[in-house]
């Protein structure tokens, strides 16, 4: 599942025996990738949309594991644009049922964080590390795009990702998040909701995010260019390496 349409376009091009099914205003592409049966779909944006999409994958298509890719804004100061974060845990930063429950705890589940599958996480990290060390990621796009976004040698990180229906575009909001959730590496708008659905249906999953901006006033202005020429190509290469 991809958080951007450009990501799934690249994967569909690699698939064989592709068929399309339209459900709930989404197009699901079924076929094979490296001999494995797969379903590829654009999650749509936001927690509700992404949760709806993964629920359809589980109930209609009977998936047995989920790989979710997309972009994210850096919260940790050590992250650079072009780095890749493989989630270990995901939390909904806008979940707040106080005083009934502690802040960030999901009602009825007694959980604040949802952890990704250990084996899938290890496969994702291994795939990204190989693509970085072999400089394959640099071969996926032109140098002018790498230079535009200041990408020299991407690094892979494992840690916490915070999700919520809020796009971070100023430093003050980011700093408030860090004060509340100090171990957060990056922020996005879908992962933790997807994680909750996978947890409830017992589906192994992993979330892989490419850092597209710094979640503040200094975020790059040409977001579509980054997605098309950097993030989408990263995602396709990582998924292709994992599904082998």
Q: What is the pLDDT of residues 48-101, one digit of tens each?
A: 999 999 999 999 999 999 999 999 999 999 999 999 999 999 999 999 999 999
Marked catalytic residue, from 7, 160, 188, 190 = 7
* Helix residue spans in the chain (DSSP H): 5-14, 47-59, 118-133, 136-139, 143-148, 171-180, 191-201, 223-226, 232-242
d(CA 121, CA 204): 10
The string of pLDDT tens digits covering residues 190-232 is 999 999 999 999 999 999 999 988 877 666 557 888 888 898 8
Whether residue 197 contacts residue 174, with contact meaning beta carbons closer than 8 Å, is answered with no
The answer to whether the Cα torsion of 57, 59, 63, 65 is positive or negative is positive
pLDDT tens figures, 126-141:
999 988 888 787 888 8
Handedness of CA 15, 11, 22, 191 (dihedral sign): positive
d(Cα 24, Cα 21) in Å, to the nearest integer?
A: 10
> Is position 222 annotated as part of the catalytic site?
no
Domain boundaries, the chain: 65-242
- Give the H or E element holding residue 18: strand 16-23
pTM flag (> 0.85): yes
Which residue out of 83, 105, 190, 213 is catalytically annotated?
Answer: 213
Active site residue 7: yes
Nearest in space to 212 (alpha carbons), one of 195, 188, 191: 188
Neighbours of 5 (CB within 10 A): 14
Q: Please give the CATH topology (third level) of the domain spanning 65-242.
A: Rossmann fold (3.40.50)
Give the relative orientation of helices 191-201 and 47-59 as an angle to the nearest 10 degrees: 30
């Amino acid at each position: 599942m991809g958080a951007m349409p450009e990501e799934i376009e690249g994967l569909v091009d690699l698939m064989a025996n592709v068929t399309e099914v339209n459900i709930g205003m989404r197009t699901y592409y079924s076929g094979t990738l490296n001999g494995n049966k797969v379903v590829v779909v654009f999650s749509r944006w936001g927690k509700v949309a992404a949760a709806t999409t993964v629920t359809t994958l589980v109930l209609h298509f009977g998936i047995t594991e989920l790989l979710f890719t997309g972009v994210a804004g850096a919260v940790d100061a050590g992250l650079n644009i072009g780095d890749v974060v493989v989630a270990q845990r995901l939390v909904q930063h806008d979940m707040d049922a106080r005083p009934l429950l502690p802040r960030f705890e999901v009602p009825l589940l007694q959980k604040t964080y949802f952890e990704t599958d250990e084996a899938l996480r290890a496969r994702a990290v291994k795939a990204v590390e190989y693509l970085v060390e072999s400089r394959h990621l640099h071969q996926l796009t032109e140098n002018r795009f790498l230079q535009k976004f200041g990408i020299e040698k991407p690094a892979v990180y494992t840690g916490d990702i915070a999700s919520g229906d809020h796009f971070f575009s100023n430093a003050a909001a980011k700093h408030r998040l860090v004060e509340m959730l100090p171990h957060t590496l990056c922020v996005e708008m879908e992962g933790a909701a997807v994680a909750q659905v996978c947890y409830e249906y017992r589906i192994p999953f992993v979330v892989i995010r490419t850092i597209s901006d710094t979640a503040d006033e200094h975020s790059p202005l040409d977001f579509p260019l980054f997605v098309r020429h950097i993030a989408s190509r990263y995602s396709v290469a990582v998924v292709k390496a994992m599904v082998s």
